[in-house]
Chains A and B, each alone.
Chain A
Amino acid sequence: AQTVTQSQPEMSVQEAETVTLSCTYDTSENNYYLFWYKQPPSRQMILVIRQEAYKQQNATENRFSVNFQKAAKSFSLKISDSQLGDTAMYFCAFMKPRGTYKYIFGTGTRLKVLA
């Protein structure tokens, strides 16, 4: 069974600084997808970024980028130029695109951006 581990329950960063959130996962699959979701205080789950395992290139979405290390089964999220609106819970998720399409989530990292 696949597992997703986020070892940082809470983090903080100064506004305009850069922060990296860690995520590791365990799977025997070769083809899969990885995601970072943001959950602000509104509780809404928002997709931040998606990585396809067969792609070598790290995904980037504006200030958000990932460091995908397939062999190490590591998928960290880097937030550059942190903004107060980035304050949220961040969840890492794994999905195997065969069969059930289940999304397996980590326990989350609560990020606070400080003014």
Chain B
Amino acid sequence: DAGITQSPRYKITETGRQVTLMCHQTWSHSYMFWYRQDLGHGLRLIYYSAAADITDKGEVPDGYVVSRSKTENFPLTLESATRSQTSVYFCASGMYTEAFFGQGTRLTVV
């Protein structure tokens, strides 16, 4: 199916563990984004990518790593999870007319 998919939908992990959230899009959009959603903060940009092998930091990049070896995939890795990274994470792809979002991943760090 065409679209943008995230996996997993839900994840519980322990403090200090490495976690990778996956994102895959089928439209071949050049631009992809990772946001986190927290109450009172809206959606804040973590990292974005303009094309394969081109990534840059957003507003809240600390503690996260991204890669983009293929246009369609944009995984987000928490190198050593902390409780402050408990959040809902959204991947998006898009262009100037619209950003298309995945279903989100609810990550809980205990």
- Give the interface size class of chain B: 20 to 34
Q: What residues of B have a CB within 8 angstroms of the CB of A56 in the complex?
A: none
Query: Which residue from A35, A91, A102, A106 sits with its C-beta under 8 Å from B48?
Result: A102
Within 8 A of A (CB), among B90-110: 90, 92, 94-99, 101, 103-104
**CB of A7 to closest CB in B, whole Å:** 13
Complex-state Cα separation, A43 to B104, whole angstroms = 7
Q: Which applies to chain B's interface (DSSP): helix, strand, loop or mixed? A: strand
Q: What residues of A have a CB within 8 angstroms of the CB of B31 in the complex?
A: 100-101
Q: Which of A33, A47, A101 has the most CB of B within 10 A?
A: A101
Does the CB pair A102–B33 fall under 8 Å?
yes
Q: What residues of A have a CB within 8 angstroms of the CB of B97 in the complex?
A: 33, 50
Instruction: Please tell me if A45 contacts chain B, counting CB pairs below 8 Å.
Output: yes
Write the chain B residue with the least CB distance to A42.
B103
Complex-state Cα separation, A104 to B92, whole angstroms = 13
Q: What residues of B have a CB within 8 angstroms of the CB of A104 in the complex?
A: 45
Q: What residues of B have a CB within 8 angstroms of the CB of A97 in the complex?
A: 96
- Give the interface size class of chain A: 20 to 34
Write the chain B residue with the least CB distance to A33.
B96
Within 8 A of A (CB), among B61-103: 88, 90, 92, 94-99, 101, 103
Q: List 11 A-B contacts (CB under 8 A).
A: A6-B42, A33-B96, A43-B104, A45-B90, A50-B98, A91-B42, A100-B56, A103-B92, A104-B45, A107-B41, A108-B42
- Which residues of B are interface residues toward A (Cβ below 8 A)? 31, 33, 35, 40-45, 48, 50, 56, 58, 88, 90, 92, 94-99, 101, 103-104
